[in-house]
Amino acid sequence: MTNHVPFEIELKLALPPQGVNGFLARMARRRSPPTVAVLHTRYFDTPDFDLSRAGVAVRVRRVGRRWVQTLKTEGERQGGLSQRIEYEMPVTRGVPDWSRFPPEAQAFVPAALRARLVPVFETRFERTAWLLAGRSGAQIEVALDRGEVRAGLRREPICEIESSSSAASRMRCSTWRAPGPPPSPACPTTKARLHAACGWRMIARPRRFARVR
């Protein structure tokens, strides 16, 4: 049995396209070389959206040639800052493999619902990411995501900044801060502009859980 609960802490900021060059210039001054990857993510739910109503998100993401599956809970939010439970591990295909999730994660989704999961929307974007040193020795990833959300024939653009850390055991959600102030055009994504939130809005169904990405 797993004793450590895997928490993730992250701050999300919406960035207007005209603010991208200024953000890149600011990050260049940190002298931390970025990595660039193209990410393709599929979000899964039942036809009746049972997971969304329960505050659970399941996704499978392709990074290069690798697939990674993730289960997240709604957790706590303060503006654009969130803290939530996250289970993540590699899989061999672009669909959830429940045998890979630990029992603690499987408990969030009953077996009857797992059999009914289908893709509901997807995101495709380029992520430029920097790994920085935060307080208390924690490593913090700062990423710029640019691409689009796809739901059927509909498309909507993505342009966001994300700062995240999994070192929740050493930091409190209420005191964690991204390294340095955000670029002036950026603002917390409290208006349902996150990747997943945009997807839920595009499929035009009410959601209680609309900010997990």
Q: Give the CATH number, domain containing residue 164.
A: 2.40.320.10
Residue 209: inside a domain: no
Counting the structural domains of the chain, the total is 1
Residue 1: inside a domain: no
CB atoms within 10 A of CB 25: 10
Residue 29: inside a domain: yes
Residue ranges making up the domain that contains 103: 7-202
Q: What is the pLDDT of residue 39?
A: 96
Q: What is the pLDDT of residue 74?
A: 80
- The CA dihedral of 73, 78, 81, 87, to the nearest 10 degrees, is -10
Question: 155 forms bridges with which residues in the sheet?
Answer: 150
Distances (CA, A) of 201 to 43, 79, 149, 151, 195: 13, 19, 11, 10, 10
The residues of the chain scoring below 70 in pLDDT are 1-5, 75-82, 134-136, 166-213
Q: What is the pLDDT of residue 165?
A: 78
Residue 2: inside a domain: no
Residue 212: inside a domain: no
Q: What is the pLDDT of residue 139?
A: 82
Q: What is the pLDDT of residue 204?
A: 54
Question: 142 forms bridges with which residues in the sheet?
Answer: 130, 163
Residue 188: inside a domain: yes
Residue 22: inside a domain: yes
Q: What is the pLDDT of residues 8-56, one digit of tens each?
A: 777 888 899 999 999 999 999 988 899 999 999 999 999 999 999 999 9
Residue 211: inside a domain: no
Q: What is the pLDDT of residue 169?
A: 37
Show the beta-strand stretches assigned E in the chain: 7-14, 35-45, 56-63, 66-73, 76-78, 81-91, 118-133, 139-151, 154-165, 187-188
